[in-house]
Chains A and B, each alone.
Chain A
Amino acid sequence: DAGVIQSPRHEVTEMGQEVTLRCKPISGHNSLFWYRQTMMRGLELLIYFNNNVPIDDSGMPEDRFSAKMPNASFSTLKIQPSEPRDSAVYFCASSNRGQEKLFFGSGTQLSVL
C-alpha cells in the first residue's frame, strides 16, 4: 500500500487566496484526521471523520476553514481566504476504528505570504 497520500507537498500563496489541501487515506481505513503543526502550538487536531462523516470539528480555527470527505478515498481541507497565520504543516492521517496506530501522510507545508 502506498500509505496516506497528501498533495501538494508545498504550497506558497498570497494572503486572501483560497487554498485546497488534498488527502487520500489508506484503502480500507474508515477514520480520517486533519492536523496542523506549528512550532508554537504543536500538532493540533482540526477535524476527524468516521465513515466519511465529520465527527468532531471543534479544532477548526474559524469559518475560513472547511473540510469535506465526499467518499472513502478522498478528503479536502480548504482555507478561504488564507492568512499568514495559517502558515503551518498540515497532516492528514488515517486509521481503522479499533486500531491504535495512526498512519500519517507526508504533510503539506503551507506558506501564506
Chain B
Amino acid sequence: QKEVEQNSGPLSVPEGAIASLNCTYSDRGSQSFFWYRQYSGKSPELIMFIYSNGDKEDGRFTAQLNKASQYVSLLIRDSQPSDSATYLCAVRSYNTDKLIFGTGTRLQVFP
C-alpha cells in the first residue's frame, strides 16, 4: 500500500462547478496535510495546508481533514479553466520534515 494515495484522474468538470479532489494516507501518525498544484512542465506550488479535523477555507479552496478515516480532500468552488492542473496531496508525520506526496490527480476544467 502506498503511503499517500490519489486517483490519477483526469477529473473533468465544467467551468463554474465544484471540483472535489480526494486523498487517503496510511500513516496514523501523520500530523500535517498539504495540497500542492502543479501545472504541466512546472514545479509544484503550495495551495493550502491543514492540521486539524474539519474544514479550512481560503478563497475558492476548502481543505477537509478526517483523521479517523485517514482522508483529506480539496474542494475548488467556481472552477476556472486556469485551475486545470495536477493536484498533489502531501503528508508529513509528527516530528519530521519528511514530506510524502501522492501521485496526483489531474483536473481538467472545460469552458
Residues of A within 8 A of B102 (CB): 42
Residues of A within 8 A of B101 (CB): 35, 42-45
Partner of A104, one of B34, B44, B49, B104: B44
Given known A-B contacts A45-B99, A56-B98, A91 and B43 have beta carbons under 8 A apart: yes
A106 at interface, CB cutoff 8 A: yes
Q: Which of A84-113 contact B (CB under 8 A)?
A: 91, 95, 97, 100-102, 104-107
- B contacts with A, residue count (CB < 8 A): 18
B72 at interface, CB cutoff 8 A: no
Residues of B within 8 A of A104 (CB): 43-45
- A contacts with B, residue count (CB < 8 A): 22
Separation in Å of the B32 CB from the closest CB of chain A? 7
Residues of B within 8 A of A97 (CB): 97
Q: Complex: how many Å from CA A31 to CA B97? A: 8
Task: Say whether B46 contacts A42, CB under 8 Å.
Answer: no
Task: Say whether A100 contacts B49, CB under 8 Å.
Answer: yes
Residues of A within 8 A of B30 (CB): none
Task: Say whether A42 contacts B34, CB under 8 Å.
Answer: no
Task: Say whether A100 contacts B32, CB under 8 Å.
Answer: yes
Chain A residues within 8 Å of B, Cβ to Cβ: 31, 33, 35, 41-45, 48, 50, 55-56, 91, 95, 97, 100-102, 104-107
Chain A to chain B contacts (Cβ below 8 Å), 11 pairs: A33-B99, A44-B101, A45-B100, A48-B98, A50-B97, A91-B44, A100-B34, A100-B46, A100-B49, A102-B46, A107-B43
Chain B residues within 8 Å of A, Cβ to Cβ: 32, 34, 42-46, 49, 88, 96-104
8 A-B pairs besides A102-B46, A104-B44, A107-B43 with CB distance below 8 A are A33-B99, A41-B103, A42-B102, A43-B103, A45-B99, A48-B98, A100-B32, A106-B42
